[in-house]
C-alpha cells in the first residue's frame, strides 16, 4: 500500500503518477495526492487521504528537497530561501501529521 505525494508546481508530478501506475500494475494499491508539503493543509490532506483509503498511515517516507543549478556566487537570498525551505518545513509538517494516525 502506498500514497505518493508530489509538489503541485513541479514536473515530478508526472513521476508520481508513473510510480502509482507501476505499483497498481504489479498488484499493489496506490494513490497520488498532489500538494506542497510546506503547506499545512496540503500535508494534512496527504495523511487524511491515507487514513481514508488505508485506515491510517503506518510508515511515512519523506524525500522533500530541491536542487538549484546555479553557481553559488550567483545565488540570491530568494534562491536560498526557496531551496532551503522545502527540506526543513516540508519534513516537519508531514511528521506532525503522521502522529495523528
**Which residue, chain included where needed, has cell 537570498?**
77
Cα–Cα separations (whole angstroms), residue 28 to 16, 33, 50, 63:
15, 16, 14, 21
pLDDT in tens, 26-57: 998 888 887 777 788 888 888 888 888 888 77
Contact (CB, 8 A) for 66 and 11: no
- Span 65-95, pLDDT tens digits: 777 888 989 999 999 888 887 777 777 777 7
What domains lie within the chain, and their CATH numbers?
2-98 (3.40.50.720)
Q: Is the pTM for the entire model greater than 0.85?
A: no
Between 100 and 43, name the one with better pLDDT. 43
**Where does the chain show beta strands of DSSP type E?**
2-6, 30-34
Q: What's the grid cell of residue 20?
A: 502509482
Q: Between 43 and 2, name the one with better pLDDT.
A: 43
pLDDT value for 71: 92
Amino acid at each position: 500500500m502506498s500514497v505518493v505525494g508530489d509538489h503541485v508546481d513541479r514536473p515530478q508530478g508526472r513521476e508520481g503518477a508513473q510510480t502509482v501506475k507501476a505499483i497498481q500494475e504489479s498488484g499493489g494499491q496506490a494513490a497520488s495526492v498532489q500538494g506542497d508539503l510546506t503547506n499545512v493543509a496540503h500535508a494534512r490532506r496527504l495523511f487524511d487521504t491515507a487514513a481514508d483509503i488505508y485506515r491510517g498511515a503506518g510508515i511515512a517516507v519523506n524525500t522533500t528537497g530541491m536542487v538549484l543549478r546555479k553557481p553559488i556566487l550567483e545565488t540570491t537570498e530568494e534562491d536560498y530561501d526557496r531551496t532551503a525551505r522545502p527540506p526543513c518545513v516540508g519534513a516537519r509538517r508531514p511528521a506532525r501529521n503522521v502522529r495523528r494516525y
